[in-house]
A and B are shown apart, each in its own frame.
Chain A
């Protein structure tokens, strides 16, 4: 590969050899001597898990009235959290599947934790529609199970599609992730010193031995799974957006929603990738494996997705006006000037304003600043989801019944609890499984002649 220049930093920095790569990545897991701030951060996340458990218990005991939702705005943070978390998951699939198909070598050091991020984000997302049911213990009624009522799910309902899409997405992400882990689990099995670790990784590795015959089949199927995950990820967020667009509520009923939701998902997902990757590469001194090139590319993808989202905002506003529908127009005007106006303008300034800073290379390469921007975009995208969910129903076809919803402690308890649980899962993942794909980094080092 060509020598690195200041404009084009390399994917891997410095010289490496195989024992060094697998040893460094493996020892994060096997030695278990993680820095003190790791456990401090984990403890803070654990407190948030307790908050989540308390909030969920309260929600189930008291009912959805404990949330700020009220007529006419009966969809609140549960739905916006759901859309937000699903979107965060999508960047992981994009990095691992789409970049694999496009043979982008820079994905190798970040795809593993991006896939883990997908799994945990989908796990969080799956909570919310169920909690929002009011009687969460009946969620299995969405499944076509034999039952004494002799009825079936309503197949024409986007909520049932949603259930199918999320369940498929979670399962396929898990299979893809586990398949990618197999060769690395074999490395950990052989490197592990203690008997419990050898058993743990040995069982999970399923007897992988790196035979050339196995690799040949493995690679074909791994690419096929990536090829399957790509249309899946687009379909999942499109179906999520259909939950809204199938209703005639002003602000929901729009054909721009599926692509606009997918782009929003990528924007928030890449923001979350950066939010995790920047501290990760700093805390575990893997700056030569996860390099500035990765951060730079992720930031570029953020701005690409962000411009599509901005186009979505413009198109939504334009078609509300162009439709000539008084209620659509009123809703759009109220969104910008009504009770939710402060949130609306914060959202625009974060998702469209702050994002523009990423055009500058100096800012994309400045890690503290990039981290701050990524967090700002995460916040902005949550607000976007919330605005979409609440402003439509708050200004629908009966002006006498216009009204807003409030946010209670329970809304925030569940939101921050889920964020804490997500990060706790990420921490456990870093502790238990190799967060960087060993075999792909070794392959990359071999291809790029970075072996010393």
Chain B
């Protein structure tokens, strides 16, 4: 079996941040950190790019509103025009209400499906689950993963560095 990476286990969130920073300073780039709750500090250390999902949400909202407004416009002007005492067919204020709701619905779907797609979820299996120690079962542990694909990765060296940075345990993760 080929190796996917090295998984280092930390007991404290601060230890994970210290270790991530330390490994980064040593030149590692193909890293990922795992925590039971979001940790803002990791975004900077791992140089996680700013997500473009807000634009997807905006596009979903506009698409929902425009599509539904267009549907209403089509129905009142073309497919089913009803002349009520000469009043305008395209009486827009009431139509805005439904278009607004549709906009919210479109944006929410775009956001929810977008975050799943961007994260590659749902996913049946991932190599990190091969690590014995990787589990929420005993509550929150904090994990740092160095991938073997990292150009700086040397089996013994990397393990030693992780241990010196305070890892409780360093485990090889099979791909």
Contacts and interface: CB of A to CB of B under 8 A. Distances in A.
B139 A20 contact: yes
Query: Does more than half of chain A's interface fall in helix, strand or loop, or is it mixed?
Result: helix
A299 B31 CA distance: 47
A217 B119 contact: yes
Contacts, number: 174
Contacts of A235: 97, 100-101, 104
Contact of A171 (B72, B94, B108): B108
B107 A228 contact: yes
Interface stretch (A119-127, A147-155, A357-365, A412-420): A147-155
A17 B72 contact: no
B98 interface: yes
A224 B54 contact: yes
Contacts of B97: 161, 164-165, 235, 239
Interface string B95-107: 1011011101101
A152 B75 contact: yes
B43 A212 contact: yes
Interface residues of A, number: 61
What is the size category of the interface that chain B forms with chain A? 35 or more
A118 to B, nearest CB: 14
A439 interface: yes
A179 B54 CA distance: 16
A215 B126 contact: no
A207 B126 contact: yes
A215 B115 contact: no
Contacts of A228: 57, 61, 104, 107-108, 111
A191 B138 CA distance: 7
Interface string A404-443: 0000000000000000000000000000000000111011
11 contacts: A19-B138, A144-B75, A152-B76, A161-B94, A212-B39, A212-B46, A213-B48, A228-B61, A228-B111, A231-B104, A235-B104
Interface of A: 17-23, 144, 150-152, 155-156, 160-161, 164-165, 167-168, 171-172, 175-176, 178-179, 183, 186-187, 189-191, 206-221, 224-225, 228-229, 231-232, 235, 239, 438-440, 442-443, 446
Interface of B: 13, 32-39, 42-43, 46, 48, 51, 53-54, 57, 61, 71-72, 75-76, 79-80, 91, 94-95, 97-98, 100-102, 104-105, 107-109, 111-112, 114-116, 118-119, 121-126, 128-129, 134-141
